[in-house]
Structure 1
Amino acid sequence: MPRHARHARHARHTAGLLRGIYLPRTADALAFAMSTYGIPLLVLATTRSAALTGLAFALEWIPRLAAFGWAGAVVDRRGASVVFFLASIGRTLALAAGAVVLYLYPAGIVASVTVMALAAITGVLTEFSYIAAETAGAAAGRRAGPQAHRVQAVLLGIDQTATLAGPALAGLLLLAGPPQMLAVITVLSLLAALLALRTPPSPVAPARAPKNSTGAGLITGWRTIRSLPALGWLVTGLTLSNLATGFLQAAGPVIVVNHYGQSTTAVGLVWSAAAAATLLAVTVCRFAIDRLGLWPVGAACAALGSLACLAVSQAPDYLSYLVLVAVLMSAEGGMTVVLRTLRSRLIPPDRFGSTLSATILILLLPFPVAGVLTAITPPGALGHVITGCAALQALGLFLSFARLRTDPALRT
């Protein structure tokens, strides 16, 4: 093939990824990050209660988990682009209504109920759009062949860039007022819906996809995970790791504000710094996987993350706490690149939505548990709980990567 023809085809492929995959994912991820971190900050700012902050975190995640089985089945049946568009439009309408209510009733029981309802509604709709976006991204990775990890690294970089900007932007907008913060997220959700119209259709035609119910979709995903030992072991290790990172997210506002005496804006700064470090780590891991392979990079990230998490509970001041959380989350980012690459390689396309739903459901189960732990733990004992979660994380990751050391799926 002539060189100019190859270059033209590469340019078309890159432009297609940008318009159909990367731009919709960027708008959706930024809306997700702002709502996920902004709502708990709003609860803490209005109530000053550690228990209610932890409870809000749990209430934010429980409806999301309940939506996963249904989301995977719907994406497999209707297609990623359709689900992405409808979920983004639904979130736009919900956020617009919430902004109006909070403008009319800025305080009191109506405001509290509105914020909690928004946490649940936007959480469910965001999981639909996320499953759809991940399915489209996995299809793009399969089309990339041996360069699948590069596509997954770009997608993870988009997520981390959104996490970098989202918490800080939510904190700044919260100073202007809750309606202003919700209005910005509304605009981002609408933009995601419009960009979703460019997302390529699913690789499996909706008419041929099985008409799974919610339970059947999760059962299909669970059976697929069990049939892929490499995926199962990696999911197990990362699930135990997520208990530690989830607890740090849930308890973060209490630790930073009450223990270190910082403002709510400083809470967003912690996760923005963590996202910046993760973005750098994802870029490094992308090239390291080219040279070393999946297992060495994943094992190194697991060791680094375990050590950082064990040290977090002993952080003497806010700056050291921020640095250790950033190191932990950057290591998590490296392991996520490994997981996403493995998913796109191993999961059959006709079961990808259901299996992805089951995988993410398992990975996110620790998050509401972390919220409950934060709600029932006295503020002075949070450090001891972090140490226990870190020990469990280290054990889980060690066993998982020891089992995966000779697995051919991570050696390819």
Structure 2
Amino acid sequence: MSAAVTPRHARHTPGLLRSIYLPRTADALAFAMSTYGIPLLVLATTRSAALTGLAFALEWIPRLAAFGWAGSIVDRRGASVVFHLASLGRALVLAASAVLLRLHPSGTVASVTVMALAAITGVLTEFSYIAVETAGAAAGRRAGRRAHRVQAVLLGIDQTATLAGPTLAAVLLLAGLPPMLAAITVLSLLAALLALRTPPSPIAPARTPKGQTGVGLLTGWRTIRSLPALGWLVTGLTLSNLATGLLQAAGPVIVVKHFGQSTTDVGLVWSAAAGATLLSVTLCRFAIDRLGQWPVGAACAVIASLATLAAAQAPDYLSYLVLVAVLMAAEGGMTVVLRTLRSLVIPPEKFGSTLSATILILLLPFPVAGVLTALTPPDALGHVITACALLQGLGLALAFTRLRTDPALRT
């Protein structure tokens, strides 16, 4: 591949700490704080549960719609450029919102401000995520046989941010709106500045030829279809995400209505799951060193399927918490395999578009899980989770059976 068509994110070679890990940490914290903190901000400003739910939807709907654009622009402009501009834009929007809310702490202006903030930060965060993930994949390609170590560190950063971000946002909000917005603004500015520390390639075209980058999600879909290993793994994990999404969507009903616990105990389930995932990612990193990707991925698939099946029949809250934590830990191991495979087999000039398509496919089961939860009587949720667990096991078994001899996972 000539330098004339290789995208910028495929040619950067600085140290991982300053060029990948530190920017990813700042962006992941800003991502987690904004995703969970802005709905809290809406509730504190409007006192409306309906508007709070709408704000959460406004964060996610534009993100899903922006996937194709984000991947295509990252391919054409380079990951570091898009990451810098998206993070800087998010910081400016947050700062402007803080000023408006200072001048108009309540009323129509405040309501419009926080709702617009939810939508705009959702889109900008999606662009920064696709960009920094693309840069991380390029680092994984350069690491070669140690690509799984890079992806394990990146996944650990994401899980740590998911664990700490919501709590930090809630604590800062207790001190008032300005401290929380200021913290996310500072993190966004830090991410933008760290993105500048990745030096541009001395030979970088203004845009990659359209024939090489394609047009967003269509290019990503075609690339997935042309890579059997990636296609089977994405298929298996998509079916697995249906079971995981159902447990997430039905969690409050199961914990509060079925087990008679408090809403705080619902959050404890997912905090335990995040902690278990962090431990799993670390262990899988060393396990892949010794055993390889396929054995570790297949073992995690078996554990995830059995944990979901058992969670559907959990007799009490404690066993349910442990089983969900085991499930998410196994999901973390499979995610390391997916990220590693993705970084190694996707052509660099199409990585952003293919990454966008992959993430969109993996996220589609979550709204389906929400619909299933809404349509299912509480007493029947266990049966639906059992059916999804069986579907999850079948999908993962087919995927890893087909991948058993694939060189992409045997390397």
Q: Name which of structure 1's ranges 381-390 and 73-82 shifts more when overlaid on structure 2.
A: 381-390
Q: Name which of structure 1's ranges 140-149 and 40-49 shifts more when overlaid on structure 2.
A: 40-49
Indicate the percent of aligned positions where both proteins have the same amino acid. 85
Q: Distance in 2 between matches of 1:54 and 1:328?
A: 27
| Cα deviations by residue, 1:35-94 (Å, 9 ceiling, x for unpaired) | 333455667895567xx8876655433221111111111111111111001111122233
How much has 1:335 moved relative to structure 2?
A: 0.5
Q: Tell me, yes or no, if structure 1 residue 336 matches structure 2 residue 335.
A: yes
Work out the number of aligned pairs and report it.
Answer: 398
Structure 2 match to 1:249 = 248
User: In 1, are the aligned partners of 2:213 and 2:349 still within 8 Å (CA)?
Assistant: no
How much has 1:100 moved relative to structure 2?
A: 4.8
How much has 1:195 moved relative to structure 2?
A: 1.4
RMSD of equivalent CA atoms: 3.3
Structure 2 match to 1:77 = 76
Q: Tell me, yes or no, if structure 1 residue 123 matches structure 2 residue 87.
A: no
Q: Mark the runs of 5 or more structure 2 residues left unpaired by the alignment.
A: 1-11
Report the CA distance shift for 1:263/1:205 in structure 2 as closer, same or farther (over 3 A): farther
Q: Mark the runs of 5 or more structure 1 residues left unpaired by the alignment.
A: 1-12
User: 1:28-43 maps to which residues of 2 (within 5 A)?
Assistant: 28-39=27-38
| Cα deviations by residue, 1:311-353 (Å, 9 ceiling, x for unpaired) | 3334444433332222111111100110111111111111111
Equivalent position amino acid for 1:328 in 2: L
How much has 1:406 moved relative to structure 2?
A: 1.9
SS of equivalent to 2:197: coil
Q: Name which of structure 1's ranges 334-343 and 257-266 shifts more when overlaid on structure 2.
A: 257-266
| Cα deviations by residue, 1:96-147 (Å, 9 ceiling, x for unpaired) | 3444555666677766655544333222211111111111111111211221
User: 1:119-158 maps to which residues of 2 (within 5 A)?
Assistant: 119-158=118-157
Normalising to structure 2: TM-score of the pair? Answer: 0.84
User: In 1, are the aligned partners of 2:76 and 2:213 still within 8 Å (CA)?
Assistant: no
SS of equivalent to 2:242: helix
Q: Tell me, yes or no, if structure 1 residue 389 matches structure 2 residue 388.
A: yes
Report the CA distance shift for 1:32/1:270 in structure 2 as closer, same or farther (over 3 A): farther
Q: Name which of structure 1's ranges 377-386 and 185-194 shifts more when overlaid on structure 2.
A: 377-386
Normalising to structure 1: TM-score of the pair? Answer: 0.84
Q: Distance in 2 between matches of 1:48 and 1:119?
A: 15
User: In 1, are the aligned partners of 2:86 and 2:127 still within 8 Å (CA)?
Assistant: yes
How much has 1:383 moved relative to structure 2?
A: 4.3
Q: Tell me, yes or no, if structure 1 residue 161 matches structure 2 residue 160.
A: yes
User: In 1, are the aligned partners of 2:14 and 2:198 still within 8 Å (CA)?
Assistant: no
User: In 2, are the aligned partners of 1:156 and 1:337 still within 8 Å (CA)?
Assistant: yes
Q: Tell me, yes or no, if structure 1 residue 182 matches structure 2 residue 181.
A: yes
Q: Distance in 2 between matches of 1:98 and 1:259?
A: 41
Report the CA distance shift for 1:33/1:247 in structure 2 as closer, same or farther (over 3 A): farther
Structure 2 match to 1:64 = 63
Q: Distance in 2 between matches of 1:255 and 1:107?
A: 36
User: In 2, are the aligned partners of 1:274 and 1:329 still within 8 Å (CA)?
Assistant: yes
How much has 1:247 moved relative to structure 2?
A: 3.3
Q: Distance in 2 between matches of 1:207 and 1:15?
A: 22
SS of equivalent to 2:198: coil
Q: Tell me, yes or no, if structure 1 residue 235 matches structure 2 residue 200.
A: no
Report the CA distance shift for 1:256/1:15 in structure 2 as closer, same or farther (over 3 A): farther
Q: Distance in 2 between matches of 1:256 and 1:364?
A: 24
Report the CA distance shift for 1:381/1:155 in structure 2 as closer, same or farther (over 3 A): same
